[in-house]
């Protein structure tokens, strides 16, 4: 199982970097690394100061450990203290243009007790979109592509994983959604390895078809400093979620992961302002009232 998943994840990282490089006209720089324990490592690829992408990271990692981090066993207390093996591809892409959304994708495979006679394995992943200005065309395309990724796996799969995404990417201290959602799933190990692996692959393979048309539409939209200021302000919400609530960030830090790779998801520029509220009737206000509200984008 391990070899199949590792081979797929590396090929997925290659395909995504190739697709985004073609869009941007710039190349990702690879930084191969080994875990400080000597158990595993990864390939961190970063594109910075590009023509379209202000900062983007696409990461492959495959690490092992003697003891499950608390973030990984919180919902599975029976696995606390067991050895583990984790592998995945994760990415965050921050475009330069304020009218182009930030996107995130992650697919992962986890094995607890990998060195025992009865290992426990599961898949997780998903992708979500964080716009700074709302476009219904983009939202519908994003969710239609998410639906297509899930369609072969049952009629409820998209609905269940969309709802899970809406609930997960939520900032409770601000009572705000991080974006317009997409898919989120975790702890998937039924009906069997082949079906679960197929689901993970389908989600990973649908990221580029989901994001590239949106970036093509928005990357050259004219904008002013006021649009940029709003983008930087909303990026602050992204940082708050990643540092306070994101389970992947917590797992990486608790497992002694490589800090530079874990925090590559942070935007290059960000702003906070005291009680910054958009004026009623503006596109900025519409983002909050119309788009950052969980809803059925396909009906």
- Residues forming the annotated binding site? 90, 94, 104, 106-108, 143, 173, 256-258
- Residue 122: strand pairing partners: 110
Does the annotation mark 104 as catalytic? yes
Look up tokens 């984008």; give the residue: 297
Q: Quote the CA–CA distance of 18 and 9 in Å, as a whole number.
A: 14
Contact 189, 61 (CB under 8 A): no
Angle at 123 between CA 53 and CA 237, to 5 degrees: 40
Give the DSSP H/E element, type plus range, for residue 92: strand 84-95
Query: In the numeric block, which tokens belong to residue 157?
Result: 């799969």
Give me the half-sphere count of Cα atoms (radius 13 Å) on the Cβ side of residue 242.
16
Query: In the numeric block, which tokens belong to residue 143?
Result: 């969710």
Report the first-to-last Cα separation within the chain, whole angstroms.
Answer: 38
How many CB atoms are located within 10 Å of the residue 172 CB?
8
Contact 68, 80 (CB under 8 A): yes
Strand ranges, E, within 96-202: 102-112, 120-130, 170-171, 176-177, 181-188
How many CB atoms are located within 10 Å of the residue 76 CB?
14
**Annotated binding-site positions for substrate:** 90, 106-108, 256-258
Query: In the numeric block, which tokens belong to residue 119?
Result: 């290992």
**Annotated binding-site positions for a divalent metal cation:** 94, 104, 143, 173
Q: Which of 35, 36, 62, 104 is catalytic?
A: 104
Where in the sequence numbering do the catalytic residues fall? Answer: 104
């Amino acid at each position: 199982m391990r070899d199949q998943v590792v081979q797929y994840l590396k090929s997925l990282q290659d395909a995504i970097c190739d697709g985004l490089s073609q869009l941007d006209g710039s190349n990702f720089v690879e930084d191969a690394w080994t875990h400080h324990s000597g158990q595993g490592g990864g390939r961190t690829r970063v594109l910075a100061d590009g023509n379209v992408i202000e900062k983007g990271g696409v990461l492959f990692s495959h690490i092992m450990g003697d003891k499950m981090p608390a973030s990984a066993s919180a919902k599975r207390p029976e696995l606390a203290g067991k050895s583990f093996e984790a592998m995945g591809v994760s990415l965050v892409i921050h475009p330069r243009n304020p009218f182009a959304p930030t996107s995130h994708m992650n697919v992962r495979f986890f094995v607890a007790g990998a060195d025992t006679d009865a290992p426990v394995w599961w898949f997780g992943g998903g992708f979500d979109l964080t716009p700074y200005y709302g476009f219904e065309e983009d939202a519908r395309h994003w969710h239609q592509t998410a639906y297509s990724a899930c369609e072969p796996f049952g009629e409820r799969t998209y609905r269940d994983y969309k709802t899970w995404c809406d609930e997960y990417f939520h900032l409770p201290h601000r009572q705000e959604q991080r974006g317009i959602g997409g898919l989120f799933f975790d702890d998937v190990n039924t009906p069997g390895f082949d079906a679960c692996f197929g689901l993970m692959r389908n989600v990973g393979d649908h990221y580029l078809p989901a994001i590239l048309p949106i970036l093509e539409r928005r990357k050259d939209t004219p904008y002013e400093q006021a649009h940029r200021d709003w983008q930087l302000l909303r990026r602050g919400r992204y940082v708050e979620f990643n540092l306070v609530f994101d389970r992947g960030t917590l797992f990486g830090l608790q497992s002694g992961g490589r800090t530079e790779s874990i925090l590559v998801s942070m935007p290059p520029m960000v702003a906070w302002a005291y009680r910054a509220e958009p004026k009623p009737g503006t596109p900025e206000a519409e983002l909050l009232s119309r788009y950052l509200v969980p809803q059925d984008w396909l009906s």
